[in-house]
Amino acid sequence: MSSNQPVAIVTGAGRGIGRATALELASRGYRLVLVARNLDGLNETSNLVGGALVLAGDVSHNDEVEQVVRNTLSHFGRIDALVNNAGHAPVRSVEQMTIAEWQVTIDTNLSSIFYFTRLVWPMFKRLGGGVIVNISSLAGRDPLPGFWAYGAAKAAINLMGLGLAREGAPHNIRVHTVAPGAVETQMMRSVLSHEQLPPEQALDPSDVAKVIGQCVSGDLKYTSGEVIYVHKTVG
């Protein structure tokens, strides 16, 4: 395997959009680093893509993110792409939300992107470029009741992506923001039943992964800094 073959880190890779993204990027020739808290899910994804570097960790903690990046560089010597997909979406009213749960929501969805970005940025500059894809949500502009904290974190991701894209442009670093609507995942089904949202109205994770792959490969390079909304239109 060539040491020049590109390397991508995918967070939240144990299932759902993260797993579909791993499959998509593997098909595009990327060596993969799969990150999530659940090791069993990561190993299943690794088997599906034909092998990957599996690193269990909680991306809401900066020290664990630092360890992921160190291990990636030790194993592969390079990082070419980062897909920030890990998410946490509690359904709470403002009176129900605890301080601890608010912090976990912000740190998992938003702070983790900062932790990873500040660490991979120097490598991207040394390589002459790189790409970050941040997974936002339609909730960032239109949250369902109870999703206000999750939506606030995703709205911040949208603006963060624009600012980082502008900062990265002189260094050939692209930053894309992909904002799906409802996606048929375990996280979505933990809060919305089939009666509340019929399966035919939800995206398949592979639908989102294809867009992520296009961002990473450069097919959508002119969307750096933009929010790409992906959702079904229900008549």
- Catalytic positions are 150
Q: What share of the chain is helix, strand, coil (3-state, %, to 5)?
A: 50, 15, 35
What are the residues facing 83 on neighbouring strands? 10, 133
Could you tell me the two tokens for 128? 């002459």
Strand order in the sheet with 227-230: 53-56, 31-36, 7-11, 81-84, 130-135, 173-180, 227-230
Compute the distance between CA of residue 69 and CA of residue 8 in angstroms, rounded to an integer: 11
User: In terms of C-beta density within 10 A (0-12 exposed, 13-18 middle, 19 or more buried), how is residue 125 classed?
Assistant: middle
Cβ-based neighbours of 41, under 8 Å, separated by 6 or more:
13, 14, 15, 19
Please name which of 178, 24, 8 lies closest in space to residue 82, comparing C-alpha atoms: 8
Give SS3 for 143.
coil
